Structure 1
Amino acid sequence: MGNCTDAVDLDKRVVRVVRTIIEVSGRTSFKPFPKSRAGRQEIPLPSWLVPILREHIEKYPPNSDGLIFTNEAGTPLRRTSFRGRIWKPSLVRAELLGEIVFDDDWFEGRWVDNDGRKHVQRFDTYRQVVSHVARFGAEGITFHDLRHSYATWLVDDGVPINMAQRVLGHENASTTLQLYTRRTVDHERILKALDGDDGDPA
């Protein structure tokens, strides 16, 4: 979460990776560049995200370093705080981690822990059940999972590998192909290719 205002161009709809935040023994600091020259990429922003970022910046002005996303004290978000207070609760609300069942008088949380055990518990409020499932539920989706999905979607939508490579910040296109893409199965396209354009075996 090391994005500063000098690295975000909302008019051009890009985010430039020019620094990262490292955390050692609970203390955070800026690192000037990512781990390689290829890591200094520009990432395109979808059009729907631009007004959301503008509203966020207007509502929560960046700190003195220009950092866009901070904690209540205006300092960088620590990994553990972001994961526990923002990321995992968001997964629960999006129905990507556990399950919440509503009733007139209670909220029932259902989740699986890291050991694979299933749990069911009722709570008085929605906030309570979200917090509990987020805290005790399994890991859920990670940022690495998002990178994998993003790369796969780019390739499936016909984006050339070399372009996906630049956006992902890989030194070699082979990394993009081998580690970050798993083509989704499209049986209709495969069957058409096997049968030929006219539907008869080629």
Structure 2
Amino acid sequence: MTLPPFLITLLRKHLESHDHEFVFTTPRNCWLRRSDFDRRVFRPAIDGNLHRANAAVRTYPVKPGLTFHGLRQSHKTWMIADGIPEIAQARRLGHRLDNRIVEAYSHVAPEVERRVMRYLERRWHKARATTNPALPPADAA
């Protein structure tokens, strides 16, 4: 899957912060199962921890109640709004199209893929600017 530049930067920084085999790990550097990832990484990032009395570091909620499925739905909605062809949407989300001829003979042109990345990058920067301007830029050290 092609990633937009902002996400490549964030992922690279995260990967450089440890020498583990996996992107996200348990405190013992083991692979996180989906339920562990949700409980230990995703939910704290999405919901924040202001409700925890003894948190060592306070984190503010990003989007309480958000789910992975909600992220996929948002991505699909953004691609529709950005005029991305259905074949590119399907390929990006890992879906198959009902029309076998379109499925078999359609491909995602490089310029369409670049357009998806450009729109995602714009959405990221707009969200960063409007959600909490006090946050440091994503590419800051």
TM-score of the pair, normalised by structure 2: 0.55
- Decide whether aligned partners of structure 1 residues 76 and 126 sit closer, same or farther in structure 2, where only a CA change above 3 A counts: closer
Q: Do structure 1's residue 77 and structure 2's residue 32 form an aligned pair?
A: yes
Name 2:111's counterpart in structure 1: none
Name 1:145's counterpart in structure 2: 70
Q: CA offsets, 1:173-194, max 9 Å, x none?
A: 67xxxxxxxxxxxxxxxxxxxx
User: Where do 1:18-97 residues align within 5 Å?
Assistant: 43-63=1-21, 67-93=22-48
How far has the Cα of 1:74 moved from its partner?
2.5
Identity over aligned residues, as a percent?
Answer: 33
SS of residue paired to 2:5: coil
C-alpha distance in 1 between matches for 2:23 and 2:38: 17
Structure 1: 5+ residue stretches without partners? 1-42, 101-108, 110-121, 134-138, 175-202
How far has the Cα of 1:155 moved from its partner?
0.9
Greater CA drift, 163-172 or 67-76: 67-76
C-alpha distance in 1 between matches for 2:11 and 2:36: 21
Structure ranking higher in strand proportion:
1
How far has the Cα of 1:49 moved from its partner?
1.4
* RMSD across aligned positions (CA): 3.0
Structure ranking higher in helix proportion:
2
C-alpha distance in 2 between matches for 1:48 and 1:142: 21
How far has the Cα of 1:71 moved from its partner?
1.8
Equivalenced residue count is 96
Moved over 6 A (4+): none
Name 1:164's counterpart in structure 2: 89
Q: CA offsets, 1:119-173, max 9 Å, x none?
A: xxx94x565986xx9xxxxx82211111011011011111111111111111116
C-alpha distance in 2 between matches for 1:55 and 1:129: 22
SS of residue paired to 2:37: helix
TM-score of the pair, normalised by structure 1: 0.40
